[in-house]
């Protein structure tokens, strides 16, 4: 049997300009049928807006890749997170204004506000259950809350909670082969990863995942792997069935801001203060298979940016990241409000035929030289 390896290429195919501050969250929708690219792209920002984008199918240049066709406004402070219902009809947003909103995307109107018995400080993250019946929120007040879609707070976690900001919260997906389904996970600035039963609110696991702030969490489509990223520059993979079992880890080289699990491959997209990476955690060499780094280099470039009084991190810090539903396109949101789109392709390399071709070329060149 011949050995086959893959070569990954990432090509920038477009950039989207519409936000004026950090792009804090990107949603790409849920497929309604097999092998569907939803063509959905929704982004949120510290500029307090949510933008719904339309792609230009005839785009020939990156600047013509897409445009915002609708803007959702209503939050009075930074928007921190987004979550879509499985039918892509409703969008949940959380904000530093201490509230959440459920938007009807068919009308562009707020269907429900979540305020009563809500958070006393900034709401940092939100999530919707796969059946669309329940909502989770977490905040700077160190609280985790469960809501129904009518805006009623049904439960506030009081025991075994985080002792610092609860930065991200996610339901663990349910599937036919999933070992999860009735659980959710939270991460916080206390360095902890926690897994909760969403019916009893008992703790399944509580584990110190990082040495400092955990900023991001993403979960594999089947719910069997949980991936975290933190200020300590580390990305760690945990097995849902045993989070304390030794698992792959990766040094991203800079504080990690965001993560996204590829829907079809064991690839994790990582957004850091210096750029983005795609990490294959199942590869033998623990490989980064593609990356885009945006560190500023050279004294002239540095002085030019400083003379314009522009924060340096605006040009390279990745603040949100998401895959499309087919897993072949990556959307990267930056601190300067720009979203870049990359086409990710995987080419199979058959080493037997490659070596045979090289030998044939070498033999042909030798014959030409001595003929």
Q: What is the C-alpha separation between 225 and 195, in angstroms, rounded?
A: 12
120 with 145: CB under 8 angstroms? no
Q: Write down the pLDDT at residue 261.
A: 98
Rounded Cα distance, 228 and 189, in Å: 12
Its pTM stands at 0.87
pLDDT at 301: 45
3-state secondary structure of 295: coil
Burial of 107 (0-12, 13-18, 19+ CB in 10 A): exposed
Contact 337, 18 (CB under 8 A): yes
Tokens of 134: 């329940």
Q: Which of 180, 279, 182, 184 is nearest to 229 (CA)?
A: 279
Alpha carbon 18 to its chain's center: 20
At 101, list the tokens: 């909103």
66 Cβ neighbours under 8 A, 6+ residues apart: 14, 16, 41, 53, 54, 55, 56, 59, 341
- Reduced to 3 states (helix: H, G, I; strand: E, B; else coil), residue 353 is helix
Q: Return d(Cα 323, Cα 312) in angstroms, integer.
A: 26
- CA–CA dist 266, 214 (Å, integer): 21
3-class SS of residue 348: strand
Residue 149: which domain range? 4-370
Per-residue pLDDT of the chain (371 residues; tens, 9 = 90+): 344 456 788 999 999 999 999 999 999 999 998 888 889 999 999 999 999 999 998 888 888 999 999 999 999 999 999 999 999 999 999 999 999 999 999 999 999 999 989 999 999 999 999 989 999 999 999 999 999 999 999 999 988 899 999 999 999 987 543 444 589 999 999 999 999 998 889 999 998 999 999 999 999 999 999 999 999 999 999 999 888 787 889 999 999 999 999 999 999 999 999 999 999 988 877 789 889 876 544 444 444 444 443 344 455 799 999 999 999 999 999 999 999 999 999 876 555 555 665 666 766 665 656 65
User: Which tokens is 327 given?
Assistant: 């897993």
- Cβ atoms of 81 and 99 closer than 8 Å: no
Judge whether 140 and 132 are in contact, CB under 8 Å: no
CATH of the domain at 44: 2.130.10.10
> Can you give the pLDDT at residue 295?
56
Instruction: Give the pLDDT score at 7.
Output: 75
Q: What is the DSSP string of 238-288?
A: EETTBTTS---EEE-SS-EEEEEE-SSSSEEEEEETTEEEEEETTSTT--E
Q: In terms of C-beta density within 10 A (0-12 exposed, 13-18 middle, 19 or more buried), how is residue 86 classed?
A: middle
The predicted structure's pLDDT at residue 253: 94
SS3 2: coil
Q: How far is the C-alpha of 172 from the C-alpha of 184, rounded, in Å?
A: 5
Q: Which residues partner with 52 through β-bridges? A: 42, 70
Cα distance between residue 328 and residue 101, in whole Å: 31
Sign of CA dihedral 10, 16, 17, 21: negative
Count the domains in the chain.
Answer: 1
The two most distant CA atoms of the chain are separated, in Å, by 88
């Amino acid at each position: 049997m011949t050995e086959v390896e893959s070569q990954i290429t990432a090509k920038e195919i477009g950039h989207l300009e519409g936000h004026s501050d950090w792009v804090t969250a990107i949603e790409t929708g849920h497929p309604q049928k097999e092998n569907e690219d939803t063509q959905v792209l929704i982004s949120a920002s510290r500029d307090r807006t949510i933008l719904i984008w339309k792609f230009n199918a005839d785009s020939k240049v990156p600047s013509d890749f897409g445009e915002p066709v609708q803007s959702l406004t209503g939050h009075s402070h930074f928007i921190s997170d987004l979550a879509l219902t499985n039918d892509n009809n409703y969008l949940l947003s959380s904000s530093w204004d201490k509230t959440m909103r459920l938007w009807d995307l068919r009308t562009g109107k707020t269907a429900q506000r979540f305020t009563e018995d809500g958070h006393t400080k900034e709401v940092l993250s939100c999530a919707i259950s796969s059946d669309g019946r329940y909502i989770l929120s977490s905040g700077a007040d160190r609280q985790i809350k469960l809501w129904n879609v009518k805006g009623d707070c049904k439960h506030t976690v009081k025991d075994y909670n985080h002792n610092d900001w609860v930065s991200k919260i996610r339901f663990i997906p349910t599937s036919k082969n999933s070992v999860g389904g009735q659980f959710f996970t939270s991460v916080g600035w206390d360095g902890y990863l926690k897994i909760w039963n969403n019916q009893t609110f008992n703790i399944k696991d509580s584990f110190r995942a990082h040495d400092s702030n955990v900023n991001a969490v993403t979960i594999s489509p089947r719910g069997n792997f949980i991936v975290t990223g933190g200020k300590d520059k580390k990305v760690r993979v945990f097995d849902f069935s045993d989070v304390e079992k030794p698992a792959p880890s990766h040094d991203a080289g800079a504080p990690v801001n965001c993560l996204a699990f590829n829907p079809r491959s064991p690839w994790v997209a990582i957004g850091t203060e210096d750029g983005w990476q795609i990490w294959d955690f199942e590869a033998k060499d623990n490989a980064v298979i593609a990356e885009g780094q945006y560190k500023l280099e050279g004294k002239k470039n540095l002085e030019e940016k400083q003379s314009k009084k522009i924060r340096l991190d605006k040009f390279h810090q990745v603040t949100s990241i998401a895959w499309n539903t087919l897993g072949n396109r990556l959307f990267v949101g930056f601190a300067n409000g720009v979203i870049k789109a990359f086409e990710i392709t995987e080419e199979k390399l058959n080493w037997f035929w490659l070596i045979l071709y090289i030998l044939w070329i070498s033999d042909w060149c030798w014959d030409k030289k001595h003929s």
